[in-house]
Amino acid sequence: MKVIQTHYRGHYFRSRLEARYAVFFDALNEKWVYEKEGYDLDEGDFYLPDFWLPRLECHVEIKGQYPKKEEIRKCRKLQFFTEHDVVIFDGLPTENYGLWFGWCDNGGFPTESYAAWTIDDGFLALTDYAGEPSDMLQAAAVRAKQARFQRHDPDLPIGVPYPNIVDYDRIPF
């Protein structure tokens, strides 16, 4: 299945799902950078994570389905080489648990666990266990799911202004 490149807030996302995560982060006032930097992980492994969340100092990778072994291996290497947490989520925000590659606080060695989004003191955070998503998370997930985008026209050059492509009046908060 071919993904649909999507334009949102000045970025061309490689898929609608990635654009929906940008809407999710925006709904929670979480600053994000899309495809900030590519990494040479050694031995010809190159990786370009989807999002960088500066406040959380975390790379976020979005997949349409459960990640393949090769994708998981690259995320482990990214976490090891950058010394920043890496999470992989598949599906829409709050739909599934993710995989979290981090660092143990009291030993400095890499850890792996499941990940879920949560709200901590009014801010987006990661947890290795979460019950039902909070109202704030659910509202942001609904906003992301209901966002409507225009399809990118590959014949138009990058930088051509687009009309407002997300109709915020139609998205409940």
Instruction: Quote the pLDDT of residue 62.
Output: 96
Report yes or no on 73 lying in a domain.
yes
Per residue in 34-56, pLDDT (tens digit) is 999 998 888 778 889 999 999 99
Mean pLDDT across the chain, nearest whole number?
A: 83
Whether 65 has a pLDDT exceeding 50, the answer reads yes
Q: How many domains does the chain have?
A: 1
Write out the residue range of the structural domain in which residue 154 sits: 6-170
Query: Is 1 among the domain residues?
Result: no
Q: What residues have CB less than 8 Å from 23, skipping those under 6 apart?
A: 8, 143, 144, 147, 166
pLDDT in tens, 73-115: 899 999 988 889 999 999 999 888 899 988 766 556 677 888 8
